[in-house]
Chains A and B, each alone.
Chain A
Amino acid sequence: DVKVTQSSRYLVKRTGEKVFLECVQDMDHENMFWYRQDPGLGLRLIYFSYDVKMKEKGDIPEGYSVSREKKERFSLILESASTNQTSMYLCASSFPAVTEAFFGQGTRLTVV
């Protein structure tokens, strides 16, 4: 059974904190993605990675960074959390040139 696992289901952080969201996949996928999901806006791509140590900005990278030191792990970092980063964060992975992406269960982050 394929699996993308996000380290936390719910997180509450304070404004200005550095926040780490972790994602691990067990499918040997090259591609990994971080999205945020907000009501009425759908899924918006923050960053993606197509190989270890490689990363590309998505549509809304401001205020975020990522790290991919191992193939199976992709981390999203909020350098200094702000209230407008309160959202559902979804990690996904896929093989190259394959349409289907597999998603984790999501992390609901609240910044207070």
Chain B
Amino acid sequence: QKEVEQDPGPLSVPEGAIVSLNCTYSNSAFQYFMWYRQYSRKGPELLMYTYSSGNKEDGRFTAQVDKSSKYISLFIRDSQPSDSATYLCAIDTGGFKTIFGAGTRLFVKA
């Protein structure tokens, strides 16, 4: 079983839609959860991070962690064409290692 599972998509939505991106993980000891956004032909950039369970909101983006089900989510409200990118979930395992999901490609159509 992979430590982090993420559906690679692609996911195509119309402009203005609410987008839900998800990952599952296997180790209940993980505490730091992140979402990176990667535009085409660019490196990933940190979008949001959360510690332990709960929600964190930043503008149109909400990151959610459910440790009981080992499920992490990223919600994008009022999606825009500029949100078209690959979104990678990531988990800091402590020490130097970060585990990345495969990434979900998102297309927002105008």
A interface, CB within 8 angstroms of B? 4, 9, 31, 33, 35, 39-45, 48, 50, 56, 58, 90, 92, 99-101, 103-106
Contacts and interface: CB of A to CB of B under 8 A. Distances in A.
Contacts of A9: 41
Contact of A42 (B49, B92, B97, B100): B100
23 contacts: A31-B96, A35-B100, A39-B102, A40-B8, A40-B102, A42-B4, A42-B100, A42-B103, A43-B44, A43-B88, A44-B100, A45-B97, A45-B98, A48-B96, A56-B96, A58-B97, A99-B32, A99-B34, A99-B98, A103-B44, A104-B43, A105-B41, A106-B41
Given A100-B34, A105-B42, 20 more contacts: A4-B43, A9-B41, A31-B96, A35-B100, A39-B102, A40-B8, A40-B102, A42-B4, A43-B100, A44-B100, A45-B97, A50-B96, A56-B96, A90-B44, A99-B32, A101-B46, A101-B98, A103-B45, A105-B43, A106-B42
B102 A99 contact: no
A23 B54 CA distance: 36
Contacts of B92: 99
**What's the interface size class on B, roughly?**
20 to 34
Contacts, number: 50
Contact of B102 (A35, A41, A45, A90): A41
Contacts of B45: 103
Contacts of A44: 100
B22 interface: no
A4 B6 CA distance: 27
A100 B102 contact: no
A22 B5 CA distance: 31
